[in-house]
């Protein structure tokens, strides 16, 4: 699986990129048909604490799955997005079985 991490208007440190890579790769245990994934990290201009945004797009045959989460830290937002994608993958897999 190819994994592309983009950070918009800042440079993500290696520790954060490693964390994201580990989390996204765990999704492969739920569905092995994942072709690739794109992760975008953004900082929202709001003044509150919840200004870190993680967007993850999983490329799978047929269509892509997408999750966008906003939180206090990129790690927390990534965990929430990965959890949302895990649920989407399980639903997608069940639909495939019914066909």
User: Going by C-beta distance under 8 Å and a sequence separation of 6 or more, which residues neighbour residue 46?
Assistant: none
Q: Which pair of structure tokens corresponds to residue 25?
A: 């790769």
φ, ψ of residue 40 in degrees (nearest 5): -115, 130
Is the model's pTM score more than 0.85?
yes
Beta bridge partners of 69: 54
pLDDT at 98 (0 to 100): 84
Contact 87, 78 (CB under 8 A): no
- Which residue bears the tokens 């959890």? 83
Bridge-based pairing of strands 2-7 and 52-59 is unpaired
pLDDT one-digit tens code per residue, 43-97: 988 778 899 999 999 999 888 999 999 999 999 999 999 999 999 999 998 888 8
pLDDT one-digit tens code per residue, 49-63: 899 999 999 999 888
pLDDT at 27 (0 to 100): 94
Please tell me the total number of residues recorded for the chain in this structure.
99
Alpha-carbon gap, residue 40 to 37, rounded angstroms: 10
Domains and CATH numbers, the chain: 2-98 (3.30.160.100)
């Amino acid at each position: 699986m190819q994994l592309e991490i983009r950070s918009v208007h800042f440079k993500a440190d290696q520790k954060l990129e490693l964390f994201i890579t580990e989390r996204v790769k765990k999704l492969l245990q739920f569905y092995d048909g994942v072709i690739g994934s794109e992760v975008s990290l953004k900082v929202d201009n709001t003044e509150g604490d919840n200004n870190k945004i993680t967007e993850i797009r999983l490329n799978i045959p047929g269509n892509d799955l997408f999750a966008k989460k906003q939180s206090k830290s990129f790690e927390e937002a990534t965990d929430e997005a990965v959890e949302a994608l895990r649920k989407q993958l399980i639903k997608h897999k069940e639909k495939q079985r019914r066909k």
